[in-house]
Chains A and B, each alone.
Chain A
Amino acid sequence: MARRNAILAQSIFFSAAAILVLSTGALVLFIGSTGLRVFSFISPASFFFGRSWDQNTQDFGVLPLLFGSLATTLVTLVISAPLAIAVSIFMVEIAPRPIRRIMRTAVELFASLPSVIYGLLGLTLVVPWLRDALHVGLGKGILAAAVVLVFMTQPTMVSIAEDALRSLPESLREGALAVGATRWQMIWRVLVPAARPGLLTAVILGMGRAIGETMAVQMVVGNITSRIPSNLVSGATTMPAAIVTQLPEATSPAHRAALIMVAFLLLVITLILIAGVRLATGGKSTKASTRRAVPAAQGGRPAAVAKLQGDKV
């Protein structure tokens, strides 16, 4: 009886695992095969190197979308990564306990806000502000999207970076202080280097959030697909924004397939980012000796990653 139960339980777990793996594979396969159909309508060269995406002329060059996504993500990271690291250092090393608690609650609140709210705030606050401050265009564009994304990526980055710093052993701090380091020297010369794998994970996952964000970006980016934007404040688009804007109205098979191909590209980029996280934190086969004794330096990855990959759109 017990044996039969064990077999039953085992097969249930096995099927559950199999379903998960198979459906992931099927997802990639479906999106890939559907997307690749675009090449029966247009040439790969005109898709990958085309500088215009215009359904009226049936030009589906991905560069405006790809460029928009990469530029938005890059601008976001340039602001967001140093900010998140600074905030997490403040929370772990400087803030007294009550303030730390308030900040953590704030970070959690930020994480739980629906992205449409961010979009709304972007549209009503950021866009008019940029328009008035810069006197160029309508205020919608890559910069507006990046400003919104800076706020959206903070919870991801801060909570992982904070975990990474917090899990560093107290003995490292005491060791640095005991040879006469000031608090800042301790932070910059010992703690930050020791937490580097965790901090890198924070940045990469924040990047994943930035590149995949759809709703909020779509509301402030301007949704101009027909050209590669020449500056950060004129209308642009990103890959997810283009998909969500155009897919409902995509009537021609070529247009549909092209959009699905964009989705496939987005999927590939995301997978590369996940591989990057693996490399940053778990890629210890070659550099085991540098990290072995500080498992804490990789701290916070499993739980935090699981938590945050869950909420990625």
Chain B
Amino acid sequence: MSTASRATVASQVGSATQVAAPELALRLANVNLYYGSFRAVKDVTLDIKARAITAIIGPSGCGKSTLLRSLNRINDRTPIFRAEGTLKLGDIDICAPTTDLVEIRRRIGMVFQRPNPFPQSIFDNVAFGLKLNGRMPRQQLTEVVEQSLRGAALWDDVKDKLDQSALGLSGGQQQRLCIARALATRPEVLLMDEPASALDPISTLRIEELINDLKRQYTIVIVTHNMQQAARASDVTVMMTMDTADRAGNVVEVGDTNQIFTNPRDRQTEEYITGRFG
């Protein structure tokens, strides 16, 4: 939790500061993302620190979600989507055609903007990822489900109704269930795409507390529209904007969250966080 090491790891645009490998969870170099011929994100070079919370902020349409969704290749579902450049998880090239998508997604979990529990029981939702790789002894399954629900601060709410439908839970509980579902497969990285945007303020706060607890074990990358959330919940902030010339999103500033919010170096960042644009 040392502020000093946080600041040194935060990398600069275009000049990735190389740090000891285990400290870095994801490395992006010259990443360009396209929808057909439209370049949605351009020339992103970024190191994402392990076991820390990295917030990606920026105005609507600047490619935050596109960038996040390319990290576990969930954007591959869009037929015209295409990624160029280097995206690395440890030694694995995320974008290589030979990369096993299943493995990538087991190591990089994701929580979406709206809670998306499956219309199944609470238990089955959490156990879903565990059952995909063949049978697991019931005992072990039950244990991991409990751990995951505890990890997502949901265990006390649902321990007596694990066999009930997940759709009976409140929105905030559903989102924590989705976090538990993502945690169950023990990913290294957790991607969160505005995880609290569909929730009420109290649920939002609980999710933020949860995220803060999770960073001890997980690398978290979170996209958010909410400045306070980024300021409260993150260690590193990545500021993106849309280039006015070609409408491509790009990273304008990366830094320690305290620095970004108190003393931004980039004029656009300053305007954005003070609410003058975006």
Contact = CB atoms under 8 A, between A and B. Distances in A.
Interface of A: 169-182, 185, 189-190, 193-194, 289-294, 297
Contact of B119 (A178, A179, A180, A294): A294
> Which one of B167, B184, B185 has the highest number of Cβ atoms from chain A below 10 Å of its Cβ?
B167
B105 A194 contact: no
Given A289-B167, A291-B119, A294-B167, A175 B105 contact: no
Interface string B117-129: 1111000000011
B74 interface: yes
Given A173-B77, A294-B119, 4 more contacts: A174-B110, A176-B128, A178-B72, A190-B128
B118 A172 contact: yes
Contact of B102 (A180, A289, A291): A180
19 contacts: A170-B77, A174-B110, A174-B112, A178-B72, A178-B74, A178-B110, A178-B112, A179-B129, A182-B102, A189-B128, A193-B120, A194-B119, A289-B165, A289-B168, A290-B119, A291-B119, A292-B167, A293-B119, A294-B119
Contacts of B128: 176, 179, 181, 189-190
Contacts of A294: 119, 167
A289 B103 CA distance: 34
Contacts of A169: 116
**Top 9 A-B residue pairs of the complex, sorted by shortest distance between their CB atoms:** A179-B129, A171-B116, A289-B168, A293-B167, A178-B110, A180-B106, A175-B116, A290-B165, A180-B105
B167 A180 contact: no
Contacts of A179: 105-106, 109, 128-129, 132, 181-182, 184-185
A193 B124 CA distance: 12
- Give the size range of B's interface with the partner: 20 to 34
B181 A174 contact: no
A307 to B, nearest CB: 26
Contacts of B185: 179-180
Contacts of A293: 117, 119, 167
B182 A178 contact: yes
B116 A177 contact: no
Contacts of B106: 179-180
B182 A172 contact: no
B182 A180 contact: no
A268 B128 CA distance: 43
Contact of B164 (A170, A193, A289, A297): A289
B245 to A, nearest CB: 32
A178 B189 CA distance: 12
Contacts of A182: 102, 132
Given A169-B116, A172-B118, A293-B167, A177 B178 contact: no
B189 to A, nearest CB: 12
A293 B169 CA distance: 10
B114 interface: yes
Contacts of A174: 74, 77, 110, 112, 116
B69 to A, nearest CB: 9
Contacts of B74: 174, 177-178
Interface in B79-129: 102-103, 105-106, 109-110, 112, 114, 116-120, 128-129
B118 A180 contact: no
> Which one of A172, A193, A194, A290 has the highest number of Cβ atoms from chain B below 10 Å of its Cβ?
A290
A194 B117 CA distance: 11
> Which one of A180, A181, A190, A290 has the highest number of Cβ atoms from chain B below 10 Å of its Cβ?
A180
Nearest to A293: B167
> Which one of A170, A179, A189, A291 has the highest number of Cβ atoms from chain B below 10 Å of its Cβ?
A179
Contact of B105 (A172, A173, A178, A297): A178
Nearest to A182: B102
A194 B132 contact: no
B123 to A, nearest CB: 14
Contact of B178 (A170, A175, A185, A291): A175
Nearest to B75: A174
A295 to B, nearest CB: 11
Interface in B147-189: 164-165, 167-168, 178, 181-182, 184-185
B239 to A, nearest CB: 26
Interface string B203-242: 0000000000000000000000000000000000000000
A170 B112 CA distance: 11
> Which one of A169, A175, A178 has the highest number of Cβ atoms from chain B below 10 Å of its Cβ?
A178
Nearest to B131: A189
Contacts of A292: 167-168
A265 B214 CA distance: 64
> Which one of A171, A175, A181 has the highest number of Cβ atoms from chain B below 10 Å of its Cβ?
A175
B99 to A, nearest CB: 13
> Which one of A169, A174, A182, A190 has the highest number of Cβ atoms from chain B below 10 Å of its Cβ?
A174
A17 B254 CA distance: 67
